[in-house]
Amino acid sequence: MSHVSSHHHDVVIIGGGGAGLRAAIAIAEENPDFSVACVSKVYPMRSHTVTAEGGAAAVIKDNDSLEDHIYDTVSGADWLADQDAVEYFVNRAPEEMIQLEHWGCPWSRRPDGTVQVRPFGGMKIERTWFAADKTGFHMLHSLFQTTLKYGNIVRYDEHFATKLLLDDEGRCRGCAAIELRTGTVRAVLGKSVIICTGGAGKAFPFTTNGAIKTGDGMAMAYRAGVALKDMEFIQYHPTGLPGTGILITEASRGEGGILVNRDGRRYLQDYDLGQPLEVDDPRHPQTRTMELGPRDKLSQCFIKEMWAGRTIKTKDGDAVHLDLRHLGEKKIDKRIPFVRELARSYAGIDPVYQPIPVRPVVHYVMGGIDVDSDSATNIPGLYAAGECACVSINGANRLGSNSLTELLVFGGQAGTHAARFAMDHPDYDVSGLVAQADDERDRIRRTYFSSPAKSGGERIAVLRKELHDSMEEGAGIYRDADSLEATCNKIAELWERYANIALDDHTNSFNTELTAALELSSLLDVAQSMAHSAMERTESRGSHQRLDHPERNDDDFLAHSLAFHREDGSAPRIEYSPVTITKWPPGARTYGADSGLKRE
């Protein structure tokens, strides 16, 4: 690793996916004279946003309302969402979706030319906009091509940010990042910073998340002194392909697909999710009912079916069947063509003629970097948006199709506020920041390249597999004190062993072994916050289900958990902050044909 170079901008964005690109556009619009750095581990079009399939939620139909969307989101979150943030999100969503169309996103249309929307799990009214079943692909393309018209956005593609740089007054002023092509450490400096690095699904072995989603941004903020909020809430998507974890989008159920067990029974009717209609009934599928219940409950139903011995045995473990055959080839090819392509390519099944085996798979982290209603952290000048952040609109369970809209709403908000902060705080000490980047380069050399005693040391793949196994066994869909304690102890052990990690590759250019080692350190930090936050929350709520504490406890736990990093690497300090309640006090979380917002 050679001499550290410094690069000067007004605002630095870490992450080049949907939230990061939306933030870049917002900054360029707020101040066209600003220089905006976009630091991304991958080329932006390879960011994970591109894989999203089903759609993005926003009120557009005449029979829908902002209030209904707010209620569905709050109740879906099991009342752990901050309702002021949800109100802001829902009110901004339609404007953002229309703006994205103006930027080129080809939303699917009805015959009369209006925007087509489909039903999604946990929502009482159809409000999910879509572009067939490649919505994230088209959204990211539209955002990326829009950024190209702004000459003041400077991209640092294939740069891995490893440390936030803070000035003497404690304000965030940039990051240290490794240029993967050369191994050079760069100090990318600005007057404010936005983290948009996505989630951390790779803390688990079976996930829809791509290999790049290793919690790097969460870990950087955590180490810098920002709390990670609500990290115990991990969303399992109920329909992933066994063996690969490839997502079969919720749109397949929104279009009318059904879930059946080994006996051919639509088993969700046995778990307080309403009663099924015949698939040829024009009212099928029913919103907030059966297959269109929320993801946390559908995943929990699968586990109960497995415990009862009613799942289907496959070479890759237990599964149930997602049956689309009644939709017919024409509808499948028009509305969910990618589902057919994925099933044929990765399961050897054509869903026109055969049901698809599916099982729950880790999909999303509801928690993340603690931010306020302006997307700001407790470190001045540091903002976060997207899955890496917790604002919090998702609470204990995210509703499907809210996340893509969240990228737009809060990516734009973070960009605007970061630009204004930069205008108000223009000066910083460059020399002190570059010195921190020098120290980071030296730390990486010392930790991974300079110790001769590490020959024969710990291997990345071994530590990562043990982490995966421990997280799945101890912090999965159902947890208890014993399983969580075992996971917490295992992570502490893995951290000790990580200090003796061995790398065979000491070259500078595209050193993927070094990248994997750095990603593993992020995963260990993030997993530690997940496990300890889950241990301390002795109730069941949303995606956090404790077998030893099966009831929701609003008296003690209607609150956000906050995990604070300790410099010595020991267990995080866990604190709590209140949930913001505006109009919707906690109530029973019910699903079925008669559920949803009740009006006088």
Positions marked catalytic? 237, 253
- Rounded CA-CA distance 381/581 in Å is 27
Three-state secondary structure of 417-451: HHHHHHHHCCCCCHHHHHHHHHHHHHHHHHHHCCC
- The string of DSSP codes covering 241-307 is -TTT--B--THHHHTT-EEE-TTS--GGGGTTS--PPPTTSTTPSPTTSGGGS-HHHHHHHHHHHHH
Measured CA to CA, the distance from residue 387 to residue 252 in angstroms comes to: 23
Peptide bond into 360 cis (omega under 30): no
Report the run of H or E that residue 159 belongs to, with start and end.
strand 159-166
Going by C-beta distance under 8 Å and a sequence separation of 6 or more, which residues neighbour residue 324?
252, 255, 256, 257, 332, 336, 339, 351, 352, 355, 356
What gap in Å lies between CA 419 and CA 280, rounded to an integer? 53
Task: State both tokens at 387.
Answer: 């899955």
Among residues 172, 175, 177, the alpha carbon closest in space to that of 192 is found at: 172
Calpha distance 195→369 (Å, rounded):
9
DSSP H helices, 77-231, are 83-102, 135-147, 216-224
